[in-house]
Structure 1
Amino acid sequence: MNNIDAFNIAVAEILGECYREFPLRVRLSKLDIGETIKIAMGDDPDGVYNLSEKEYEIAEEAMNWLMEAGYIWSRKPDNRISMEGVTLSPKGLEILNAVPETLQEKKTLGDLISGGVKTIGKDVATTSVKTVLTYGLKLSLGT
């Protein structure tokens, strides 16, 4: 398993769920996101949750990274299993409302990923997250 691909899948799932439910706050489960990573990477989840497995660790770190990078806010970020009261920050919402010129379909990035990784697939999720993070960097740098 490639950590960057797993991270991109986790980010797509997290931001997609936050966008789909915005402005309502959501609960993000490390277990659910880790299972999404497993499925997208071609692993068959066995129904046993071992939180020390790499997929669940990546899910947790992706949630933390998105919060620290200013894409999401959480009312209760310190739970080991989930984040409670999560919503997009203004930065996250602005980025997900963008319509990149490179897309043939004129959909926002949020609309593209809001269906979830299981619906859009690993490749579309990974490409979309790369676009989101690139746009976020440009926004942060003011370019």
Structure 2
Amino acid sequence: MTNIEQFDLLTGILLGDLYTSFPVAIDARTDAYLEQVVPPEDGEAAFNFVQVFTSTVRWLDQYGYIHIEHDYSTLDCYEFKVSLSEKGLHTLRKLPKSLQSEDKASIGDMFARGAKRLADGVATKLVMDAVDFGIQAGIERI
């Protein structure tokens, strides 16, 4: 499993969790997401997951999709208290451009249903849509 595949799946699962809990912040721990993202037989991806996890959380914060309210990380445990930002909420309420959904579910609704259960490539398309919507929201404010 590549880093970008892990990023897409982790982003979908994390944003789905945040969308479901909004406006309440959640504790995002490496061990809670490892089993959801990396298949048990992929030892290399599991070994690198801490770096992918922390980099993904920090990237989502840096580009305004989430807020890191507190970093509880230690040498043996990586944990963040995170909440959905206004940009993140606005993005997740959008209808996906890349998929035709009969029930008109938003990106957030689809992630909340379970990014891991989405068909191959769907989580990636939804993450791409979410990033595109976030970029557009930033351009519109300039």
| Range into which the TM-score falls when normalised by the shorter chain | 0.7 to 0.9
The 3-state SS of whatever aligns with 1:23 is: coil
Deviation of residue 142 (structure 1)? 1.9
- Using a 3 Å threshold, how does the CA distance of structure 1 residues 100 and 37 change in structure 2: closer, same or farther? closer
- Asked if 1:62 corresponds to 2:60, the answer is no
- Asked if 1:133 corresponds to 2:131, the answer is yes
Identify unmatched segments of 5+ residues in structure 1: 47-51
Aligned to 1:114: 112
Deviation of residue 133 (structure 1)? 0.8
Name the stretch that deviates more: 30-39 or 125-134: 30-39
Tell me how far apart the structure 2 counterparts of residues 32 and 123 of structure 1 sit (CA, whole Å). Answer: 23
Amino acid at match of 1:110: G
Deviation of residue 122 (structure 1)? 4.6
Aligned to 1:92: 88
Tell me how far apart the structure 2 counterparts of residues 32 and 121 of structure 1 sit (CA, whole Å). Answer: 22
How large is the RMSD of aligned CA atoms in angstroms? 2.3
Aligned to 2:18: 18
- Asked if 1:35 corresponds to 2:40, the answer is no
- Using a 3 Å threshold, how does the CA distance of structure 1 residues 6 and 122 change in structure 2: closer, same or farther? farther
Tell me how far apart the structure 1 counterparts of residues 32 and 42 of structure 2 sit (CA, whole Å). Answer: 11
Which aligned runs of 4 or more in structure 1 are off by greater than 4 angstroms? Answer: none
- Using a 3 Å threshold, how does the CA distance of structure 1 residues 53 and 12 change in structure 2: closer, same or farther? same
Under a length normalisation based on structure 2, what TM-score does the superposition of the two structures give? 0.82
Tell me how far apart the structure 1 counterparts of residues 21 and 72 of structure 2 sit (CA, whole Å). Answer: 22
Amino acid at match of 1:25: A
Amino acid at match of 2:89: L
Q: In 1, are the aligned partners of 2:93 and 2:106 still within 8 Å (CA)?
A: yes
Aligned to 1:49: none
- Asked if 1:83 corresponds to 2:77, the answer is no
Deviation of residue 116 (structure 1)? 2.5
The 3-state SS of whatever aligns with 2:130 is: helix
Identify unmatched segments of 5+ residues in structure 2: none
Under a length normalisation based on structure 1, what TM-score does the superposition of the two structures give? 0.82
Q: In 1, are the aligned partners of 2:19 and 2:108 still within 8 Å (CA)?
A: yes
Amino acid at match of 1:100: P
- Asked if 1:104 corresponds to 2:100, the answer is yes
